Chain A
């Protein structure tokens, strides 16, 4: 069994990008380029409310994913076994 980082509550994401920056810090980078996690802003087709989509690169498993999940203020990310 391998532990992976997964979005468990995308609808709760506020777009703060704390997960993106934590992932980058673990690679000793500050910025958005080549990030293994990306956050995209969009709009809900029905309500027109802002929503966020999180894209997680499978290579993020080399990082401390527990730490990345724990920095999310809304528990949008979770570590699950695959």
Chain B
């Protein structure tokens, strides 16, 4: 079962090379992804955090395959999205968000095995970390990042944020399995969404795919920036917007997983995010 009452955040202090896992009971109104990322940016603003987040649907439903990254780039809040296997691995690590703060004194490769955090020297072969088939890895190579040896993000915000903190690699392995109370309803809904693949704004191709997305499109490689706050808080693919901006569909997905959100909660999310951004800009 997913614990739908809390958001689990792994907080990594790069300066002291320590970590802690905190369960937040007050982040549910933000759903996940960018909503939770922005709220954490507000709470930890004095620490200039870099925040990776997944949403409630990642790992469970198709086309919800991106990971949200929120950061403050010299006073400008940026929300960017990366594909690959990262979102499912964070979800199966049992984590909603990973928050980095501080700066490592030396270049470091950070490894998460579920919520356990290990720090390795830059000489470490990242391929030797984690469990093949259950991991996702980000490498910084010649000032450009690649997730799972293929996926990138728009502009260079993530590269800068990682290098500013002396992070040269990130490996995440997720080994938790979930179940869903009403599994038959969940399976039926999953299959219904699969039947809507013609509603996507991309076509099926043969490029490396994001995990839990059958499209293999040529757009996933470059990631996304900005966009619809409901999609970004779920964190679904922007090319699946016809599916995941349908409030009824989103409500059904969340309800099937055991979340107690109402239609009004979903409708109020954009306003809540707007208020959070305003608060951050006033800090």
Check if A14 sits within 8 Å of B209, measured CB to CB: yes
* CB <8 Å contact, A50 and B174: no
**B105-138: which residues lie under 8 A (CB-CB) from chain A?**
132-134
A29 within 8 A of B: yes
In the bound complex, do residue B133 and residue A50 qualify as a contact, i.e. CB atoms below 8 Å apart?
no
Interface size class on chain B is 35 or more
Whether the pair A17, B88 counts as a contact (CB closer than 8 A) is yes
Given contacts A39-B133, A43-B149, contact A28 B209 (CB under 8 A): no
Interface stretch of the complex, out of B3-11, B159-167, B176-184, B263-271: B176-184
Residues of A17-62 whose CB lies within 8 A of B: 17-18, 21, 24-25, 28-34, 38-41, 43, 50, 55
B interface SS class? loop
Point out residues on B near A: beta carbons under 8 Å: 59-60, 62, 85, 88, 92, 132-134, 148-150, 174-180, 183, 187, 190, 194, 204, 206-216
CB-based contact A16/B176 at 8 Å: no
Q: Which residues of A contact B149 (CB under 8 A)?
A: 41, 43, 50
Does A74 belong to the interface (CB within 8 Å)?
yes
Interface flag for A78 (CB, 8 Å):
no
B177 adjacent to A30 (CB under 8 Å): yes
| B177 lies within 8 A of A33 (CB) | yes
User: Do A32 and B88 touch across chains, with their CB atoms under 8 A apart?
Assistant: yes
Chain A proximity of B134: nearest CB distance (Å): 5
Partner of A32, one of B174, B179, B183, B194: B174
In angstroms, Cα B208 to Cα A14, docked, is: 4
Interface centre among B134, B148, B183, B214 (most CB of A within 10 A): B214
Asked if residues B134 and A33 are in contact (CB atoms below 8 Å), the reply is: yes
Q: Which residues of the partner chain A approach B133 to less than 8 Å between Cβ atoms? A: 32, 38-40, 55
Is A71 an interface residue, CB under 8 A from the partner? Answer: yes
Supplied contacts A14-B208, A30-B180, A32-B174, 17 more A-B pairs, CB within 8 Å: A16-B212, A16-B215, A16-B216, A17-B212, A24-B177, A28-B183, A30-B59, A31-B174, A31-B175, A32-B92, A32-B133, A32-B177, A33-B92, A39-B133, A41-B132, A50-B149, A73-B215
